[in-house]
Amino acid sequence: MNFRGLLKRSIKNAFLLLAMPVYACYWLLAIISGSDSAFQTFSQTLSLIPGKVGIYSRAAFYRLACPNTSDDISIGFLTVFSHRDTSIHRGVYIGPQCNIGKCTIGTNTLIGSGVHILSGSRQHEFSNIKIPIQDQGGRYKKIEIGENCWLGNQALVMEELKPHTIVAAGSVVTKPSNSGDILAGNPARLVKSRFASTDGVSAMKSDTGAL
């Protein structure tokens, strides 16, 4: 590891130490109000910290609070998480003003500004017209987003994205993707596959660093 890498790692370790009292406060509040409710409170508060201090603070807290989460991540200003059961892998970038539900985000995935990842499409039932929708319940689904994906600004995702998927800005994903799909529209439809080249899979492998 070079000097710059060592310095960055030292800074992240320092923020992890600083985040431990915050994490302890989170658990105390979780005993009173429930894990997800407390988690949302801390996520909203940390989202307000601007600049590099905010990026390092959020990375440290989510590393401690969320399962299988790296602190080698970048979470933008005003981005909030709604469920503690969210895993963010190494190299993930999430832009500002995003709303992240229950999900796993794979290594080196890029998420633009204003992206919404919902906890599935069945969070609210509405089959009984005589009962208010808010009283009918629903269920949360943990959405899997594969490695090396790219979600454009204002995209809305409520289904699984396989590795190497690209979602165009403003698209609404309602069905699972296949690996390497390029999706666009509302609802999002397949435009083409990133594997569709004269060199096949070998071309895809050489292209993965471009994102």
Residue 163's domain comprises 3-210
How far is it, in rounded angstroms, from Cα 155 to Cα 98?
Answer: 10
CATH code of the domain in which 151 resides: 2.160.10.10
The total of structural domains in the chain comes to 1
CA distance 160 to 143: 5
Looking at residue 211, what is its pLDDT?
Answer: 39
Residues 86-140 have pLDDT tens digits of 999 999 999 999 999 999 999 999 999 999 999 876 666 677 777 787 777 667 8
Chain centroid, CA 18 distance in Å:
23
Q: Indicate the pLDDT class of residue 204, thresholds 50, 70 and 90.
A: very low
pLDDT tens digits, residue range 61-83? Answer: 999 999 999 999 999 999 999 99
Q: What pLDDT, on a 0 to 100 scale, did the predictor assign at position 128?
A: 73
Count of other CB atoms within 10 angstroms of residue 31: 9
Give the three-state DSSP class for 60: helix
Task: Indicate the pTM of the whole model.
Answer: 0.86
